[in-house]
Amino acid sequence: MKRRTWILSALGATGALVVGWGAIPARSRLGSPELMLPTQGDVALNGWIKIAADGEVVLAMPRSEMGQGVHTALAMLVAEELDVPLNRVRLEQAGADSIYGNVAMLVASLPFHPLDSEGEHKSIKIKLAEWMVGKIARELGINATGGSSSVADLWEPLRMAAATARASLVQAAAAAWKVPASEITVRDGVMQHASGQKAHYGQMGAAAAGSTPPNIAPKAREDWKLIGQRVARNDIPAKVMGQAQFGMDVRLPGLLFASVRMNPVLGGAAAPMDTQAALALPGVSQVVALDAWGGGTGGFAVVATNTWQARQGAQAMKVQWPTTPAGAPDTTRIQADLLKALNTESGFTFHEQGLPLKAEQTAASRIDALYQTPYLAHATMEPMNCTARVKDGKVEVWVPTQVPQMARAMAAKVAGVKEDQVTVHVTLLGGGFGRRLEVDFVGQAVQVAMACKGAPVQLVWSREEDMTHDFYRPMHLAKFQASIDAQGEVSSLRIKSAGDAITPRWMARAAPHLSGPIDMPDKTTSEGLFDLPYGFLNQHMSHVATQSGVPVGFWRSVGHSHNAFFSESFIDELAVATKQDPLAFRLKLLKDAPRYAAVLQLAAKQAGWGKPLPAGRAQGIALHKSFGSIVAQVAEVSVEQGQIRVHRVVCAIDCGTVVNPDTVAQQMQSSVVYALSAALFGQIDIVGGVVQQSNFPNYPMVTLSQAPTVETHIVPSTRHPAGVGEPAVPPLAPAVSNALFALTGKRQRALPLKP
């Protein structure tokens, strides 16, 4: 069936997700004041905003801060609408109500081609599908920080909540002063009338409670004073002063510490063990067998009075791990299986247009290429950790997580209590990148805490356990076939990829009650391939979804991270084959995609594309859209002393309306370094179910001396804000690879890149 017909049929026909959706009343995401945490002296005006007695504004924060600057960006939206200084907005962790769920992230999972689903071209069928999924998402209320969606999702709800609160406060002042509300001005949280009467928000909070002024709208763009300005992030001072609390910073009275060791074989269970040597060590109090929670691996934890003692105890344990089971994951075999799948299975067609078969039959020549990428680990700087306390039938956890509700559900499941008996405190995250969308480590911490008789326990993984028991970015292969006509132009493009689908595996772990009813194709497998902006008349893009047995998860920019390497490298191949400049070739194919062309031209101009370079250097270019943002990059590369050296990366981005330009630049820099580490060094090998890389010596990162200069140029836009945390990751690898080809004349079709 055609893709759109299939999607709409799947959404509307069956499944627990959509049963009764028509009977559920539409609910505003404004929320009721009762949803805010009751605190002395604060007055809640809706589900997002409270006013303190001194006039400070309290914002319910449902998204996790992991260095991406989201706490600052979302606070800026509130400060703008309430006309208060940014430093007068205080954050409070949001509760578990559905208004805090991430709607935009789920709507973005629909596999529609961007040229069909944007602006005036959007059909009624696509609008209906987005409306249906949005309605489902609002009711599910899945609170997740991911998909570069935080600002995009809360852009309207937060501004509306703050604007409504402001109007309520002004209305309360007008009633008290017996003047028209239209005559009251607000500056820095202080309301004032020409008669001389004035009051800060805190003085009118109680009077404003319970009122909902009609016909409220956020400020017009021309009235903004804060949005779009360069603003220092609100989390930096506490981090600089060592006051910020990450997961590993949690310290509670009587805190115990636990170190884990898991079965070396991925997905393996706990095994018989000799605890004598460990329990004889100073400070070690007990050993707890661990189940394989959340799709993880079984093992054990050693509890002690500090982390070092716990780790020494874990190393002292004598364990009879079972022999490797037959059929355990092995990357050599998986690679062969993927190649076989590419050659024998048709897969699911995500996009087709024109008559590619006819074009292929009349082609003058054809270009074929096979690309591949390896498994990758997340390698967050802060290892996996969670602090838990189980006491008097209640559970409390302190955890750096991207999914607090799922962490709560996991804690309740392990402890055997109802979810309302679990309190989750979300700390700052020392890196997430998708790894903290999993809750396996939360289950472990709660299981250990249950054995500690009411004492809190902090469970911390070693780097070795973190590296060898991740939920990895899957290995993928992609086969390209392009036809060249008698005029030397590309007449058709066919792409087929193969690899594990992440979303079904994650849903089975995180929300098993939702994972079964609708077995839709996973957009993440083909994103960045089926949705290319280039105007090839004849196209066919499909994916063969596999199940390798390797635990896979969301990795920064997900499918785009490898599919952009595939597609943008092959686009360069086509430019070379048709004897065209890579920039000019792309621009010719983007005549119906002016936004893409503008971003590409900006990057090329700022990088000096086509101008002479120092001897031994070359430039490569790449363009990619992900998470609503279009990014083009030009990388300047050399090979020095047998090593690839990236000197400079020029980024241009169209991410819609920009809240904080500094955050955009910071995320471009972060993405370039993260992606460059993967492009040059990243590779996870598995032999007999055992991961071979265990720490940074054999899974290296880009060092400071290897990091390139990164320049960021933002395309002005009035569109809805889009993502910035991930979109600069995908184009980096192909930009570097294309530069290497320009430098050496050798095309590399696999990552990591070789000198």
For the chain, the distance separating the N- and C-terminal CA atoms, rounded to the nearest angstrom, is 45
Q: What are 215-227's pLDDT values in tens digits? A: 899 999 999 999 9
Compute CA distances 631 → 203, 598, 724, whole Å.
47, 10, 10
Q: What are 189-206's pLDDT values in tens digits? A: 999 999 999 999 999 999
Kindly state the average pLDDT of the residues 331-344: 98
The pairing of beta strand 198-200 with beta strand 256-262: unpaired
Which pLDDT value is given to residue 120? 64
Does some domain include residue 115?
no
DSSP 432: -
Rounded to whole angstroms, the Cα distance separating 626 from 644 reads 27
Q: Note whether 452 and 508 are same-domain residues.
A: no
Q: Which long-range contacts (CB under 8 A, 24 or more apart) does 603-609 make?
A: 603/632, 603/633, 603/634, 603/650, 603/651, 603/652, 603/713, 604/632, 604/634, 606/634, 606/650, 606/652, 606/711, 606/713, 607/634, 607/636, 607/648, 607/650, 609/583, 609/634
Does some domain include residue 7?
no
Q: Which DSSP helix (H) or strand (E) runs through 90?
A: strand 89-93
Residue 512 has pLDDT above 80, yes or no: no
Q: Report CA torsion sign: 303, 308, 312, 315.
A: positive
Which pLDDT value is given to residue 519? 56
Q: Note whether 559 and 685 are same-domain residues.
A: yes
Rounded to whole angstroms, the Cα distance separating 16 from 36 reads 30
| Range in 114-128, 130-144, 171-185 the model is least confident about | 114-128
Does some domain include residue 160?
yes
Q: Note whether 577 and 670 are same-domain residues.
A: yes
Residue 708 has pLDDT above 70, yes or no: yes
Q: Which residues pair with 622 in a beta bridge?
A: 633
- DSSP count for the chain of H helices, then E strands: 23, 27
> What's the domain range around 218?
31-102+141-240
Residue 26 has pLDDT above 90, yes or no: no
Q: Note whether 221 and 368 are same-domain residues.
A: no
Q: Note whether 658 and 591 are same-domain residues.
A: yes
Residue that the structure tokens 């390798």 belong to: 548
Does some domain include residue 114?
no
Q: What are 131-159's pLDDT values in tens digits? A: 888 888 888 888 999 999 999 999 999 99
Residues 6+ apart with CB under 8 A from 714: 652, 653, 654, 655, 658, 661, 664
Which pLDDT value is given to residue 515? 57
Does some domain include residue 397?
yes
CATH at 556: 3.30.365.10
Which pLDDT value is given to residue 11? 44
To the nearest whole number, what is the mean pLDDT of the chain?
93
DSSP 354: S
The model's pTM is 0.94
Rounded to whole angstroms, the Cα distance separating 624 from 727 reads 8
Which pLDDT value is given to residue 21? 40
Q: Note whether 342 and 455 are same-domain residues.
A: no
Q: What are 270-293's pLDDT values in tens digits? A: 999 999 999 999 999 999 999 999
Q: What are 239-272's pLDDT values in tens digits? A: 999 999 999 999 999 999 999 999 999 999 999 9
Name the CA dihedral angle for 660, 661, 667, 672, rounded to a multiple of 10 degrees. Answer: 170
CA atoms within 13 A on the CB side of 200: 13
Rounded to whole angstroms, the Cα distance separating 191 from 177 reads 11
The answer to whether residues 467 and 377 touch, using CB atoms and an 8 Å cutoff, is yes
Q: Note whether 74 and 212 are same-domain residues.
A: yes
Which pLDDT value is given to residue 117? 67
Q: Which DSSP helix (H) or strand (E) runs through 716?
A: none
Residue 22 has pLDDT above 80, yes or no: no
Q: Note whether 174 and 298 are same-domain residues.
A: no
Rounded to whole angstroms, the Cα distance separating 725 from 732 reads 14
Which pLDDT value is given to residue 604? 98
**Count of domains observed in the chain:** 3
Rounded to whole angstroms, the Cα distance separating 418 from 421 reads 6
The answer to whether residues 390 and 288 touch, using CB atoms and an 8 Å cutoff, is no
**Using 50, 70 and 90 to split pLDDT, how confident is the model at 608?**
very high
Which pLDDT value is given to residue 152? 97
Kindly state the average pLDDT of the residues 606-610: 97
Q: Note whether 274 and 178 are same-domain residues.
A: no
- CA-based diameter of the chain, in Å? 84
Q: Which residues pair with 639 in a beta bridge?
A: 644
Kindly state the average pLDDT of the residues 589-596: 96
Which pLDDT value is given to residue 8? 42
Residue 272 identity: P
The answer to whether residues 417 and 388 touch, using CB atoms and an 8 Å cutoff, is no
Q: What are 566-576's pLDDT values in tens digits? A: 999 999 999 99
Measured in degrees and rounded to the nearest 5, phi and psi for residue 640 equal -120, 125
Rounded to whole angstroms, the Cα distance separating 415 from 291 reads 13
Residue 703 has pLDDT above 80, yes or no: yes
The answer to whether residues 484 and 492 touch, using CB atoms and an 8 Å cutoff, is no
pLDDT: which is higher, 317 or 511: 317
The pairing of beta strand 422-426 with beta strand 394-399: parallel
Q: Note whether 669 and 602 are same-domain residues.
A: yes
The answer to whether residues 73 and 128 touch, using CB atoms and an 8 Å cutoff, is no
Q: Which residues pair with 476 in a beta bridge?
A: 373, 499
Which pLDDT value is given to residue 516? 54
Domain limit, last residue, from 221, 240, 259? 240
Domain limit, last residue, from 240, 257, 291? 240
Residue 340 identity: K
| Range in 112-121, 405-414, 550-559, 652-661 the model is least confident about | 112-121
Q: Spell out a b/e string for 494-515, using b for 16 or more CB atoms within 10 Å of the CB, else e.
A: bbbbbbbbbbbbbbebbeeebb
**Using 50, 70 and 90 to split pLDDT, how confident is the model at 510?**
confident
Q: What are 386-433's pLDDT values in tens digits? A: 999 999 999 999 999 999 999 999 999 999 999 999 999 999 999 999
Residue 24 has pLDDT above 50, yes or no: no
Rounded to whole angstroms, the Cα distance separating 427 from 388 reads 13
**Using 50, 70 and 90 to split pLDDT, how confident is the model at 352?**
very high
Q: Note whether 232 and 251 are same-domain residues.
A: no
Q: Spell out a b/e string for 54-82, using b for 16 or more CB atoms within 10 Å of the CB, else e.
A: ebbbbbbbbbbbbbbbbbbbbbbbbbbbb
Domain limit, last residue, from 460, 494, 519? 460
Does some domain include residue 749?
no
Residue that the structure tokens 């409220």 belong to: 216
Which pLDDT value is given to residue 446? 98
Residues in the chain: 755
Kindly state the average pLDDT of the residues 22-39: 73
Which pLDDT value is given to residue 190? 98
Q: What are 630-661's pLDDT values in tens digits? A: 999 999 999 999 999 999 999 999 999 999 99
Give me the percent of the chain exceeding a pLDDT of 90.
88
Rounded to whole angstroms, the Cα distance separating 663 from 667 reads 6
Measured from the Cβ of residue 254, the count of other Cβ atoms closer than 10 Å reads 10
Q: What tokens were used for 5?
A: 């017909």
Does some domain include residue 131?
no
Q: What tokens were used for 368?
A: 């074929």
Q: What are 32-65's pLDDT values in tens digits? A: 999 998 899 999 999 999 999 999 999 999 999 9
Rounded to whole angstroms, the Cα distance separating 372 from 361 reads 27
DSSP 187: E
Residue 170 CA, distance from chain mean position: 38
Does some domain include residue 236?
yes
Which pLDDT value is given to residue 720? 96
Q: Note whether 632 and 590 are same-domain residues.
A: yes
